[in-house]
């Protein structure tokens, strides 16, 4: 997931969920011809066989309308899932799985979850804190001496808590691509954690540790290295044994150096600043962004996390202690606050919800879970844009879907 601070000009900040580098300034794009696609909607009953929604509230027609609205923005494929407190589900899909065909979008297809994986990493770190194997006040230098050094970077002053909360000041310098040519040239490039950290060390910190807020993929790469040192084995094994297996999220996996996705999936498309739409499904994604999942698994994870199945009450409280995000992200996260690997955003119906968006070239994911873990929603979109205005419209429409689904409120559209 690309840091929002990586853009060259503050007035052209990319979306906070974007991980791969996107153009520093928006450019007009030509209209992208999309084939006409149908929409599939289903209500999956829970164990009691009851329908997924009552005569009031957020209903199947509402979800279908909201996924249609996203598809109409030029997004090739959309899939969304709402899971209620009783375990009943609404599922909808719009668009096509492959541009130029009539293949429907799978209703629980695989997609790159990108920075949603940061919530997985944060959960493992907090479990290790619960076990006394880490402390939130540990410095990076205590666990990884000499890793963060040079150009004003100092691992003696950066804590685990600051890494989790994006207040470390570590500069983000993940590799990426801005043009189709860069994609084809670099899509199979691989990077070790040490190489990613070394790239960041070429830059001065964005601010002193604890002195600001700035989205940093580099910080989460460092957290993975800390987990490995504390646990004595690779961090993906910790995520597998501590989260994925206990929750039964059997369709979530780390792609690693495998550039393709398991089937079924919708192909991912990037619309570059030139207006070219390129199928970017095949790529190797470094760090936590390499996780692949489904809407059902993402919902199950957030229900388990906020429902108290993964962390003690004290550590979950730590996770939910937030700080304001950089004001330049207000456009994307109005009144948003960042905890330890979780984002808190207000609901239009009162209260707030928790989430962690994810974005990779070709795949954008928004999600949300109510404070008690009772109601969750995940929407995956298989198109990303190198145009700020189109990205803003996409993000706003997906955020509105999440808000209505969690508020259980009908939008009053056709058929509602």
Average pLDDT over residues 206-230: 97
Q: What is the pLDDT of residues 234-292, one digit of tens each?
A: 999 999 999 999 999 999 999 999 999 999 999 999 999 999 999 999 999 988 889 99
pLDDT of residue 407: 97
- Lowest-pLDDT range, 47-56, 187-196, 354-363, 401-410? 47-56
Average pLDDT over residues 115-142: 98
Confidence tier at 174 by pLDDT (50, 70, 90): confident
Confidence tier at 176 by pLDDT (50, 70, 90): confident
* Residue 348 or 16, more confident: 348
Q: What angle do CA 254, 256, 257 make, to 5 degrees?
A: 155
- Any alpha helices (H) in 98-247, and if so which ranges? 117-130, 140-143, 160-165, 180-186, 193-201, 217-231, 235-239, 245-247
Secondary structure percentages of the chain, helix, strand, coil, to 5: 30, 20, 50
Average pLDDT over residues 17-35: 33
Q: What is the pLDDT of residues 61-104, one digit of tens each?
A: 999 999 999 999 999 999 999 999 999 999 999 999 999 999 99
Give the mean pLDDT of the chain. Answer: 88
- Any alpha helices (H) in 55-179, and if so which ranges? 60-71, 117-130, 140-143, 160-165
Q: What percent of the chain has pLDDT over 70?
A: 85
pLDDT of residue 32: 30
pLDDT of residue 175: 76
| pTM (whole model) above 0.85 | yes
pLDDT of residue 350: 96
Residue 37 has pLDDT above 60, yes or no: no
DSSP 242: I
Confidence tier at 42 by pLDDT (50, 70, 90): low
Q: Which residue numbers are catalytic?
A: 115
Which of 288, 227, 253, 255 shows the shortest CA–CA distance to 19? 288
For 266, the token pair is: 């919708």
Confidence tier at 411 by pLDDT (50, 70, 90): low
> What domains are there in the chain, each with its CATH number?
4-41+112-388 (3.40.710.10)
Residue 373 has pLDDT above 50, yes or no: yes
- Lowest-pLDDT range, 172-176, 249-253, 282-286, 407-411? 172-176
Average pLDDT over residues 381-409: 96
pLDDT of residue 124: 98
Residue 120 CB partners (closer than 8 Å, separation 6+): 239, 243, 288, 291, 301
């Amino acid at each position: 997931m690309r840091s929002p601070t990586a853009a060259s000009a503050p007035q052209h900040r990319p979306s906070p969920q974007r991980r791969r580098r996107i153009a520093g300034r928006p450019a007009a794009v030509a209209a992208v011809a999309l084939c006409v696609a149908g929409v599939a909607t289903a209500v999956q009953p829970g164990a009691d066989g009851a329908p997924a929604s009552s005569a009031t509230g957020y209903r199947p027609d509402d979800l279908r309308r909201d996924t249609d609205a996203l598809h109409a923005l030029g997004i090739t494929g959309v899939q969304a899932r709402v899971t209620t407190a009783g375990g009943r589900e609404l599922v909808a899909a719009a668009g096509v799985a492959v541009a130029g065909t009539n293949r429907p979008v799978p209703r629980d297809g695989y997609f790159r979850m990108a920075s949603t994986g940061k919530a997985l990493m944060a959960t493992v770190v907090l479990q290790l804190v619960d076990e006394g194997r880490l402390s939130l006040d540990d410095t990076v230098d205590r666990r990884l001496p000499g890793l963060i050094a040079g150009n004003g970077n100092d691992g003696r002053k950066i804590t685990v808590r600051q890494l989790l909360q994006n207040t470390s000041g570590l500069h983000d310098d993940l590799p990426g691509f801005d043009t189709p040519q860069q994609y084809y040239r670099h899509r199979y490039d691989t990077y070790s954690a040490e190489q990613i950290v070394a790239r960041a060390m070429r830059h001065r910190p964005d601010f002193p540790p604890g002195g600001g807020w700035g989205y940093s993929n580099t910080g989460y790469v460092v957290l993975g290295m800390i987990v490995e040192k504390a646990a004595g084995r690779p961090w993906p094994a910790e995520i597998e044994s501590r989260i994925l297996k206990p929750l039964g999220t059997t369709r979530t996996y780390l792609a690693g150096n495998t550039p393709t996705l398991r089937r079924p999936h919708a192909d991912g498309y990037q619309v570059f600043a030139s207006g070219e739409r390129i199928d970017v499904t095949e790529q190797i994604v470094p760090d936590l962004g390499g996780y692949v999942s489904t809407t059902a698994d993402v919902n199950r994870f957030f229900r388990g996390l906020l429902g108290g199945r993964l962390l003690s009450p004290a550590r979950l409280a730590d996770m939910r202690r937030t700080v304001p995000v950089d004001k330049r992200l207000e456009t994307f996260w109005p009144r948003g606050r960042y905890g330890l690997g979780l984002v808190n955003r207000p609901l239009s119906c009162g209260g707030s919800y928790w989430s962690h968006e994810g974005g990779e070239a070709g795949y954008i994911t928004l999600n949300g879970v109510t404070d008690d873990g009772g109601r969750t929603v995940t929407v995956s979109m298989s198109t990303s844009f190198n145009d700020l205005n189109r990205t803003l419209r996409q993000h706003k429409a997906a955020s509105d879907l999440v808000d209505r689904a969690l508020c259980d409120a009908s939008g009053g559209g056709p058929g509602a």
